[in-house]
Amino acid sequence: MSNDNPKKFSPVFFAFALFCFLLPFLTVSCPGGRATLSGYELVTGTQINGQKVTSEPLAVLAFVAVLLGLGMSFSRRKEAMIGTGIAGAVAAVILLILQSKVSRDVANESGGTATVSYEIGYWLAVLALAGGAAFSFYIQSRLRRAEDAGAGVERAARKPDAPSLVKGTSETSETKSQGGA
């Protein structure tokens, strides 16, 4: 598997997370009924039964982090791989914080009569973002190990008098030319 092939897979996590924002994210249930909101509606705001629901700042931040992660995942620069991982991790953490905040806000505003349940879009987005972050960090570590291995081979090729890496032998070119031990 070449180093480029896994990197091409990275945008899939972020594109899927964006898709998840179109799915049902949360459902608010109260004695008067239920309302289900998508992640997109949390980002942009919406109307429910004539009541305006404003956009949720944490949802907006998570959405922006997903967009940044998606954008960076197309970059060929190795620094972008770190940024992609950070964006995915930040977006996942923000969504987890959002869960706590929305649940608390709904309980406070309803006097404890309303509950919030988190739907498939929310959970898939969290998983996709955490997976995208982990995948990005994994690929970055593989690239770094490959570079380190390449640098080690290059150093050994430039320095013929370097000691042997085999335990117990420390032949140099000088001892070899003497027919040494």
Q: List, for residues 47-56, the tens digit of each pLDDT value.
A: 988 888 899 9
User: What does DSSP say about strands 115-118 and 51-53: parallel, antiparallel, or unpaired?
Assistant: unpaired
In this predicted structure, the answer to whether residue 87 has a pLDDT above a threshold of 90 is yes
The count of domains in the chain is 1
Mean pLDDT across the stretch 85-105? 95
Instruction: Encode pLDDT of 119-131 as tens digits.
Output: 999 999 999 999 9
**Global model pTM greater than 0.85:** no
Domain of 172, in residue numbers: 4-177
Q: Any idea what the CATH number is for the domain that residue 125 is in?
A: 1.20.140
3-state secondary structure of 113: coil
Q: Measure the CA–CA gap between 181 and 178, rounded to whole angstroms.
A: 9
Which of 58 and 164 is assigned the larger pLDDT? 58
pLDDT band with cut points at 50, 70 and 90 for residue 57: very high
Specify the pLDDT at position 118.
96
